[in-house]
Chains A and B, each alone.
Chain A
Amino acid sequence: MTTLSAIQEKITGPLRNLKAWLLAAAVCTAGALVTLPVEAASHKLDNASCQDCHSGKKGKLEAKGTDGEKRELFVIENEKYGKGVHAKMECVACHTEIVDSKANHKIDPKAKKPDCATCHEDLWAKAKKDGKTKEKARMGTVVENIDAYQKSFHAKENQDDETKVNATCSQCHNTHTFDIPPKDSEARKEWRPSEPASCGKGCHEDQLEEFEGSIHGEKLIDEGEGKAATCSDCHTAHSVGNTSAVTFKQKVLESCGDCHDDAFKSYERTQHGKLATHKGASTVRCMDCHGSHGIFLVTKLKDPRKMVAQDNKMCISCHTSDKKYEKFAPLKVGGKEGEKVERPDLDEQHKWLPNTKLHWQSVRCIDCHTSAEPGLSHEILGEKKAERMCVTCHTKDSQLATRLYRHLADDEKQKYGFANSVILSNSYVIGATRHPLLDTLILAMAALTFIGVLGHGLIRYLGAKKRRNNAK
């Protein structure tokens, strides 16, 4: 038995040890399993871990919104985020409400939601405190922009949904990529063509459509010409405000002048231009004739009659209304204090012009009231300097082809083979609408008839003379 017990002892002895080892291993493993998640969770709130899900590579991400409805989450493209100004920041630096890394995160109810304005204002205050305003000048610009935004129409309460404002920072600025290049940089020129889409899509759709069809839109969007006007050139980026305010209109006028220098100078010399420089004066400015978003509105109309109706309506509405005219009239020279020049009677002024009303329906006021020199001038000529020579238009080489019909003339260039074919196909203008073949034919027939009767008369005369001589 002793031998048997000894053998049994030999076998179970190590097994007892193994049990003890296994128990120890199990205890250790369990301990590790209990402690590990706590350790790992703190690591998983770094940007790489967030990207793991929020890059969109694992499919669509959805979360419950405040209203209990599911909403789709933004996809954060790591590459783009890396190029943005916030690239070096941790996601949770802004998303302070996120406290765990599991889907359907726990939300810290005390944490504030990401807020651009507060963060940037704090940063700028800190920069000022640290005396680093020069190094962090850009931060100052952002704060100025925030200030302008807060006073703008975009920051006002939305009329349809009172819980929202008209537009938030993130509707224009992609807060994750935040890649709007600074003004006057090369990158900014490349970025500009994308601006109209961010204003238009979802908000200003009609204006975008009109803009896309304009000369500015064609140059900017279709041809990628970075210099062409974009939304913020007139509306500003952050101080978007009341577009019917005179101050806004004056600012737009100056913006037009930044590029259209010659046109602006000739406009400045006109009575309209002089009035525009008066503070607060309401007068005819660029966009009143050229349109705002759909610049070259006149060209788009194509039909000269419509162009005439549109343009003349503007001129005539002021120049036939004492009330409107008085508003813009200059002070009378040598008159009483505050006495303004009286509105001249439009019919009386145009008395010399035959078929006055027909002219007003057929040609634009500016066709006579701007210089006949080549190149369309914006300088409106007054009564004394305006065109009075009928034959400027009523002739074969009619000025109308370079004025009212110039847009069509470019398109059609003598399509019918007639002189002034464009004018001919659109309206009849005495002296200008002439068919050279018909003219030649009629003149030749008249000449032949003359020669015929002269020849006939001569033969008759010679015959009669001969008969008289014979009779003698």
Chain B
Amino acid sequence: MSERIYLLPLWLRLWHWTNAFLIITLTITGMSLHFAAPGRFLVEFSLAARIHDIAGIALACAYSFYFIMNIFTGNGLQYFPRSPVIAGCIKQAKFYMWGIFKGEPHPYAVTKEVKFNPLQALLYWIIMYMVLPVVIITGLIYFFPSVAPDKLFGMDGLLPVAFLHYASSAAIFLFLIGHIYLATTGDKPTTMIKMMLTGWHEHSKHH
């Protein structure tokens, strides 16, 4: 038998999948642009440049929506790490490193009040409130290059902007790999993905 909790409201699910689609699009086009070479590209350069621009603007809009809704619905509070942060993270990490292989239950049960385990909360908090804003802001500066300093450390002022954009995007990409994988760690590999589509969290009764 299993229990169901309605955990994820429609706006959050819509935002999540929009965000996911845009980030994947931006990753593919971003790679096409950064690693561009004659005869070697995922998407042709000029097309990639246009798609990247449009998707980038869309991502900024989606993020603004997400940010505002987080404030109005209180969903944002879910991301703030709860005490004890370190101990909680270690406990969760130990589960991923050992307990999960033995089929042990997740150490932190999902409730309507506390959706995320401590490690998840900390990571999402870093990614959503620290890394993604950097990606978006640096990306937006590209639309208005005059905003960037003319020269910095004797180099073009856009260089640090580009470096931050590239490095923070790479961090998002690494997160994406881990995030997709960890989405398969529900009762069944598809359980969590189903939850993200329906909004209903399902878990075995022993939780």
Contacts and interface: CB of A to CB of B under 8 A. Distances in A.
B34 interface: yes
Nearest to A388: B46
B84 interface: no
Contacts of A431: 33-37, 45
A390 interface: yes
Nearest to A459: B101
Given A390-B36, A445-B170, A457-B184, A354 B46 contact: yes
A121 to B, nearest CB: 65
Contacts of B185: 460
A390 B155 contact: no
A424 B102 CA distance: 51
Contact of B158 (A354, A428, A445, A460): A428
**Overall SS of chain A's interface:** helix
Instruction: Give the bracket for the number of chain B residues in contact with chain A.
Output: 35 or more
Contacts of B36: 390-391, 394-395, 430-431
A446 interface: yes
A171 interface: no
A453 interface: yes
Contacts of B167: 438, 442
Nearest to B36: A431
B74 interface: no
Interface stretch (B65-73, B107-115, B171-179): B171-179
Interface in B93-128: 96, 100-103
A394 B159 contact: no
Interface in A246-262: none
Nearest to B155: A425
A437 B166 CA distance: 13
Given A456-B181, A459-B101, A396 B46 contact: no
A430 B45 CA distance: 10
B177 A430 contact: no
A355 interface: yes
B170 A391 contact: no
Contact of A463 (B101, B163, B177, B184): B101
Contacts of A426: 155-156
A424 B159 contact: yes
B178 A391 contact: no
A434 B162 CA distance: 10
Nearest to B157: A428
A353 interface: yes
Nearest to B174: A449
Nearest to A428: B158
A353 B50 CA distance: 10
Contact of A392 (B34, B38, B158, B184): B38
Contacts of A355: 49
A442 B177 CA distance: 13
A354 to B, nearest CB: 4
A427 B158 contact: yes
Interface in A357-394: 358, 389-392, 394
A290 B165 CA distance: 39
Interface in A61-107: none
A353 B46 CA distance: 7
B149 interface: no
A464 interface: yes
B177 A391 contact: no
Contacts of B101: 459-460, 463
18 contacts: A354-B49, A396-B37, A424-B156, A430-B33, A430-B162, A431-B34, A431-B37, A433-B159, A438-B167, A442-B166, A445-B170, A446-B170, A446-B173, A449-B178, A453-B178, A456-B96, A457-B184, A463-B103
For the complex of A and B, 8 pairs with smallest distance between CB atoms: A390-B45, A431-B36, A453-B181, A428-B158, A354-B49, A463-B101, A442-B170, A427-B156
